[in-house]
Amino acid sequence: MKALKYSDIVLVPNYSECTTRSDCDVSVEIAGKKFRLPIIPANMKSVINKQLAKWMSDNDLFYIMHRFDIDIVEFVRRCNEQSWKNISISVGVKEHDEKIIEAIAELKYRVDFITVDIAHGYSRSMCDMLRFIREKLGDSVCVIAGNVATRDAVVALNKWGADIVKLGIGQGSPCTTKDKTGFTVPMFTCVRKCHQCYASQEEFDAGKRIPVIADGGVACNGDIAKALVAGADLVMAGGLFASCIDSPADVIMVDNIACKGYFGSASFQNKGHRNHIEGKLNKMESNGMSYEKKFEEITQDLQSAVSYAGGGDLSSFNKVGHLEV
């Protein structure tokens, strides 16, 4: 079977009775919370910061705060004091990250989502961390874990304690894993192969899937629809947002054109050293939009995609066919 990227396929329109695209519902429910869109800005330093996280929480948009060079416990404390609608953080799998979880548990802070975010999620380190979180916090938090790229890995991470599994190895534009190591799975095929996973025969019989996030490979708004057609419940994108005028990415002038410096989590720019580098700096021309305007654009484009899919909400993508190009 040929492995496909989003750019390798197009979606086939269905009959529609939609008369006004703006009436199409593109909201999504995650762990009992309703959000306006199924899109998540990547939890990376050049994509999300505290101010944008607060704005997204206030406006019912799902975010995941990155875990680099910030005091996560202090971030959670302030979110609790200010009664944020949604408190969503990232951790790794080191001893430092276990101390963060212990502090949150001891202080009894509310956290709605914890994302355990490492390059190779199908690993002993992930297993240990997920079990540690469940031991300390029980079922009081929705746990997202990744990244992985196989069905076996999705089932394993769920068994270890993840509620939602994040898919994608080496597919983000600033990621060099596929070039450095040879390991990757193109995103459309990755999601298609991994989205129909169940924790048990009973859950299969009940039609209760393990939810997945498609992380990486999104180059344009239409790729969000393609990811949802492939079977993703949520879609994570970095460059779409790093190129916004108010993103945390630094402005870099290239031939008198304002560009944004978008870098991967395993890059020198993020790590500050050159051990096990699997990321690079991309100089992206600014899209000229604020986050607010970008989300408005995504909303309208996704509503149009729903109308082409022949339905009135995101479930219409379940019946959309695709062609290779």
Helices (H), 145-220: 151-160, 177-181, 187-194, 201-205
Where do the structural domains in the chain lie, given as residue ranges? 6-324
Confidence at residue 268, expressed as pLDDT on a 0 to 100 scale? 45
Confidence at residue 2, expressed as pLDDT on a 0 to 100 scale? 87
Question: What region, left, alpha or beta, does residue 47 occupy, with left being phi > 0 and alpha being psi -120 to 50 degrees?
Answer: alpha
Confidence at residue 279, expressed as pLDDT on a 0 to 100 scale? 52
Question: Is 175 tagged catalytic?
Answer: yes
Which residues are within 8 A (CB) of 322 and not within 5 positions of it... i.e. 6 or more apart? 9, 10, 11, 12, 226, 229
For the record, the structure tokens of 88 come out as 């969503």
Pick the closest to residue 85 from 114, 56, 50, 51 (CA basis): 56
Pick the closest to residue 155 from 224, 204, 189 (CA basis): 204
pTM for the model stands at 0.92
Instruction: Report yes or no: 117 and 43 within 8 Å, Cβ to Cβ.
Output: yes
∠ CA 7-122-99, nearest 5°, is 115
Question: What region, left, alpha or beta, does residue 272 occupy, with left being phi > 0 and alpha being psi -120 to 50 degrees?
Answer: left
The average pLDDT across 57-70 equals 97
Does residue 275 have a pLDDT over 60?
A: no
| Homologous superfamily assigned to 6-324 | Aldolase class I (3.20.20.70)
Residues, the chain, total? 325
Confidence at residue 270, expressed as pLDDT on a 0 to 100 scale? 52
The average pLDDT across 64-74 equals 96
Instruction: Point out the catalytic residue in the list 18, 142, 175, 244.
Output: 175
